[in-house]
């Protein structure tokens, strides 16, 4: 399936870096972001294989932002979007606190349940959880038909 990067997101927000303190006990606020005027057959899919990963209804903001740009310890930069659910992902690996991008949240890997490409990370803290998915690895079905 061909397509463009998710068109639902403000390009300026890609430039915003995560601005949280390094205090692991700092508060993380997670809110739903409702998108109106979307059809029921609108999905966010794996750019590699077209597998349905999530929906626009699962878009959330974490600390007031949906998108973040992070650089890992190896120097790779990722632009991610936050989602409350990603039914098209498998989560694997032991949750780790090391190098977390969201203070107080453990992370493990999220891969496409169809082609197994790494799509991002699953974050959890107690009962709270969300997905941080690499936006460049996703496509929006509203722009691919």
pTM equals 0.73
User: Does the pLDDT value for residue 12 go beyond 90?
Assistant: no
The tokens describing 3, both together, are 């397509």
Question: Which tens digits make up the pLDDT trace of 74-120?
Answer: 999 999 999 999 999 999 999 999 999 999 999 999 999 999 999 99
Q: For each of the domains in the chain, give its residue range(s) and CATH number, in order of start.
A: 28-128 (2.170.150.20)
The stretch 7-18 carries a mean pLDDT of 32
Question: Which tens digits make up the pLDDT trace of 22-80?
Answer: 333 344 555 554 444 444 578 999 999 999 999 999 999 998 999 999 998 899 999 99
What does R_g of the chain's alpha carbons equal in angstroms?
14
pLDDT of residue 60: 96
Residue with tokens 């190896």: 74
pLDDT of residue 133: 98
Instruction: Give the Cα separation of 95 and 42 in Å (integer).
Output: 31
pLDDT of residue 8: 36
């Amino acid at each position: 399936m061909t397509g463009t990067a998710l068109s639902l997101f403000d390009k300026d927000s890609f430039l915003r870096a995560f601005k949280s303190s390094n205090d692991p006990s700092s508060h993380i606020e997670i809110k739903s972001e409702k998108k109106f005027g979307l059809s029921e057959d609108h999905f966010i899919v794996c750019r590699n294989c077209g597998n349905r990963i999530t929906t626009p209804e699962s878009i959330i903001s974490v600390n007031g932002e949906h998108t973040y740009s992070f650089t890992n310890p190896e120097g790779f930069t990722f632009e991610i979007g936050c989602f409350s659910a990603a039914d098209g992902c498998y989560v694997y690996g032991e949750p780790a606190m090391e190098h977390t991008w969201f203070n107080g949240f453990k992370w493990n890997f999220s891969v496409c349940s169809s082609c197994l490409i790494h799509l991002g990370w699953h974050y959890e803290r107690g009962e709270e959880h969300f997905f941080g998915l690499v936006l460049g690895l996703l496509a929006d079905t509203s722009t691919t038909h």
